[in-house]
Structures are given as C-alpha cells and as structure tokens.
Chains A and B, each alone.
Chain A
Amino acid sequence: MISPILFWFVAIITVLPALSLLFARKAVHVAMAVILVMVGLAISYVALGAPFLGVVQIVVYTGAVMMLFLFVLMLVGVDYRESLKETIAGQKWIAFALSIGVGALLISAVSRVKFGVASTMTEGGPAEVAPLLYGDYVLVVETLGFLLITAAVGALVLTHVPRLFPRRTQSEMQAERIAAGANPVNKTFPGVYARHNALDAPALDPTGEPIEESVSRVLKIRHQMSDGAEFKDENRSRRRELGAKEGDA
C-alpha cells in the first residue's frame, strides 16, 4: 500500500504548481512549475510500481519536452505578456465552470465504481517491461518509430525558411565596407606597450597622446576605461630621464 504521506506530498507538489498554469503571468514561471509537476508524477509512478516509467517520465518530460518549451519561449521572447482583453465575453467564467464541471464529473464517476486492488505489486523495471514492449506490442513500437521520424521531419519542414536572397560572402561584405569609406587598417590595440599592458588603457600615438578608439566600446560604456593621462605624464618624465628635450616628438 502507498503511504498517505507520500500521496499527499505528491498531491501538493503536483496540484499547486499546476495551478500556476491558470494564474502565473509569465510563461517561464509556468514552464518551471510544470517541470515540478512532471517530477511529482514521476515520484508517483515509482510509488505505483512503475520505476521504469518514472525514469522515462523524468528523461522525456523534464529533460526533453519542458526544455523544448523553454527553448521556444526564448525564441518568441521571454517578456511576451498576453493581452487581458477578452474576445469572447465572459470566457473566463465559462472556462472555469466547464473545467470544474469536468473535474467534478470525473471524480464522481470514479467514486461510484468499486475497484479491487491486486495484492501483488508489479516490479515494473526494464527487464519486466521490455518483453512486453518487444513481444506483444512490437508492431506498436515500430509504428511509433515511424511516428517519431515523421514528427522530426515535420518539425524540420515547418520551421524551414527558404532563403530569399543569395548568401553574402565575406569578401563581398569587405568590399562594401571599403567602398563606404571604412578604414582598411586595423584599429590600434589598447595597452601601453613596453611600459604597461591593460585592455582599459588606451594606446599612445607617437606624440604620446592617448588614442581613444583603441579601447573597447564596451569598456567605455561601462566607464571602466582609464584615460591614459597617467601614462602620458609618465612617458614625458621617462623621456626627460633619457635626456630628451621637452616638446620633442
């Protein structure tokens, strides 16, 4: 027999997250909650003598299906919010009434029938399930193989986008940039050579002035750039040490 603690644990970690399907605003939160539901169902499968199915549930649902949902959520944009405008007047209340009705109908129908419970519990491991799968149900397994291949091809066909324009090669893009007046030479690398090397310090030109564009744009936006003045002065004093006259290039 199944311990009541386990049953109520499973009931709580399936029904409460499942309610987020109705009330959560963000689709990502719903997806995470549904993952928890799947794990709860896997626990109940193991408790019901189907450990193989429990593992398959974890692998297929939490591992593959829900991750696929998350991928698609990222493709369509995580911040997508649904509109609150109702196209059908009172749709919310009709939907609530219908679903509560379905639930009540199912529960009352089940409660009216008396079920016996087999005293022997199936082991439900792969060794027990496999002979059944590849014996009695081998045709179904093969048909499901066809179905999976068809589904994979179908997904490829549905998400395939035909190319509208010929692909632009790298040399074409380069020729375009040069024609538009881009500098054909590399930008100066950051860092003050021979004295100092850091990505946040601008390179110095031959006159000792810092070159602004040698520092990465990202560092500039984050204000993590050093302005190079310290190196400029240091450079001057260094040259003075070496005996060069002030103002020499």
Chain B
Amino acid sequence: MSPINFVYLASVLFAIGAAAVLLRRNAIIAFMGVELMLNAANLTLVSFSRMQGSLHGQVMAFFVMVVAAAEVVVGLAIIIAVFRSRQTISLDEPIELKG
C-alpha cells in the first residue's frame, strides 16, 4: 500500500478539524480542532518524506510540533484569562467585542 493513502487520511482529518473549528462553540474543543489540523499537516509532511526518501520532511514535522506546543500553551493561557474575566469559554460570547 502506497504512503499516498496517508495523505488522503490526512485530508480527511484536516477536514474534520476544520469542521470542529467552524462548528463548536466551546473554545477548548475548537482549539482541539486546530490541533487536529496541525497534526494532519504533520502526517502529510511525514508521508511525503517517506515518498521522497529524505529526512527533511520529518524535520519540518518536528518543527511544526514544537510550534504547536508553544501555540497550545499561549492559547490555553488566553482561554483561562478569558474564563477568569467572563466566567465562560463560549466562542459566542465575545460577539460583544464588535464596536
């Protein structure tokens, strides 16, 4: 079975992650959707690395993981800060942000 199938799998996972970001109003679940999209991108990088027979794709995936870890830390800190000030993590509430 060719590694290209993993790229199809990654496409499906990316679509699910995108749907979660668009659909869910719980900030944490939407954030997990973002994580899933990043992981889908990682899976394509690794499977293309396998097809090319080089390690550069894997190194890129490693960098994406590091950036994702940093992003999660800051994002969750923002969610906690919002929860502290508004007592909710619903993504519908900041609708009041508009002028």
Contact = CB atoms under 8 A, between A and B. Distances in A.
A132 B62 CA distance: 12
B19 A159 contact: no
B51 A110 contact: no
A232 to B, nearest CB: 52
Given A2-B6, A21-B33, 12 more contacts: A7-B9, A44-B43, A48-B3, A50-B58, A65-B35, A98-B19, A107-B8, A117-B4, A118-B51, A118-B52, A119-B53, A154-B77
Interface in A102-151: 102-103, 106-107, 110-111, 115-122, 124, 128-129, 132-133, 137, 140, 144, 147-148, 150-151
Nearest to B26: A82
Interface in B1-59: 1-9, 11-20, 22-26, 28-29, 31-33, 35-36, 39, 42-43, 46-47, 49-56, 58-59
A201 interface: no
A72 B76 contact: yes
A40 B62 CA distance: 17
Contact of B42 (A41, A107, A155): A41
Interface of A: 1-4, 7, 10-11, 14-15, 18-19, 21-22, 27, 30-31, 34, 37-38, 41, 44-45, 48-50, 52-53, 56-57, 60-61, 64-65, 68-69, 72-73, 75-76, 80, 82-83, 85, 87, 91-92, 94-96, 98-100, 102-103, 106-107, 110-111, 115-122, 124, 128-129, 132-133, 137, 140, 144, 147-148, 150-152, 154-155, 158-159, 161
Interface of B: 1-9, 11-20, 22-26, 28-29, 31-33, 35-36, 39, 42-43, 46-47, 49-56, 58-59, 61-63, 65-74, 76-81, 83-84, 89-90, 92, 95
B73 A34 contact: no
Chain B's interface: helix, strand, loop or mixed, by majority? helix
A106 B43 CA distance: 14
Interface of A, secondary structure class, is: helix
Nearest to B71: A151
A103 B53 contact: no
Nearest to A31: B32
A65 B83 contact: no
B47 to A, nearest CB: 6
Contact of A158 (B14, B23, B32, B81): B81
